[in-house]
């Protein structure tokens, strides 16, 4: 499941379904938004969140709660929904239905370069998953025509994550997070599908840090039935 900013109880600039507690919103409202999300999807064992740091560390989780310092969550526990939050960074949701392993990954520029997707797939493999039976949904993120970066930085990302270098509509250096993630996952044998479009270009549905600065975060969630 990929949430949008619609519904929820937060006022501007976090309006409305902000799931992030680190962006200045009232913690009670964030808790209410997360609770409403949980009611909406009814996972038997609740929600597992990550306190994300734009790194490549993975937590294998077995119960609800928050894992600190990780950008990827992996589980084999049915009914435990894994949740990552983003507002331009790319949420990636992975599932291997035969063995029964899922992962939720926060894959922004820094995480992609650090290897968070490879680390998440490896953690799934360690739990018995076969990448050839694994599917990945790439959620909404700032697109390759919007994500402008200084040339040197864009080139560095392009070198570290083949397929990610792009140019903006104005012809300036840019990075395409989804294209980079797609190339990376395909190289590991994982099937991919893109859902959701560009966060920066869709203010009605998505939060965008690059567009708005202080704003909320939407969520990507995955769980085993
Ligand atoms: Zn865009």
What confidence tier does 78 reach under pLDDT thresholds 50, 70, 90?
very high
21 Cα–ligand 1 center, Å: 26
Q: Tell me the mean pLDDT in the region 18-31.
A: 97
Please answer whether residues 178 and 141 qualify as being in contact, where contact means their C-beta atoms are separated by less than 8 angstroms: yes
Per-residue model confidence (pLDDT) at position 93:
98
Q: Tell me the mean pLDDT in the region 5-34.
A: 96
Structure tokens belonging to residue 109:
């520029």
176 Cα–ligand 1 center, Å: 9
What confidence tier does 223 reach under pLDDT thresholds 50, 70, 90?
very high
202 Cα–ligand 1 center, Å: 8
> How far is Cα 103 from Cα 115, in angstroms, rounded to an integer?
15
User: In whole angstroms, what separates CA 53 from the centre of its chain?
Assistant: 12
170 Cα–ligand 1 center, Å: 12
10 Cα–ligand 1 center, Å: 25
Per-residue model confidence (pLDDT) at position 57:
98
140 Cα–ligand 1 center, Å: 10
Smallest CA-to-CA distance from 145 within 169, 161, 162, 164 is with 169
Q: Tell me the mean pLDDT in the region 105-128.
A: 98
């Amino acid at each position: 499941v990929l949430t949008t900013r619609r519904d929820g109880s937060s006022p501007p600039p976090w309006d409305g379904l902000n799931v992030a507690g680190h962006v200045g919103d009232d913690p009670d409202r964030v808790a209410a938004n997360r609770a409403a999300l949980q009611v909406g999807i009814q996972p038997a064992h609740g929600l597992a969140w990550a306190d994300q740091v734009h790194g490549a560390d993975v937590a294998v989780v077995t119960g609800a709660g928050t894992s600190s310092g990780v950008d990827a969550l992996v589980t084999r526990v049915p009914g435990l929904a894994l949740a990552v939050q983003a507002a331009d960074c790319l949420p990636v949701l992975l599932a291997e239905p035969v063995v029964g392993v899922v992962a939720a990954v926060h894959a922004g520029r820094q995480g992609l370069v650090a290897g968070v997707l490879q680390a998440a797939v490896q953690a799934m493999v360690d739990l018995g998953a076969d990448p050839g039976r694994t599917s990945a949904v790439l959620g909404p993120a700032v697109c390759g025509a919007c994500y402008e970066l200084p040339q040197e930085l864009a080139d560095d990302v392009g070198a570290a994550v083949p397929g990610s270098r792009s140019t903006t509509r104005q012809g300036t250096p840019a990075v395409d997070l989804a294209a980079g993630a797609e190339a990376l996952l395909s190289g590991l044998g994982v099937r991919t599908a893109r859902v959701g479009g560009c966060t920066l270009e869709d203010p009605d549905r998505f939060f965008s840090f690059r567009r708005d600065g202080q704003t909320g975060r939407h969520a990507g969630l995955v769980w085993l039935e």
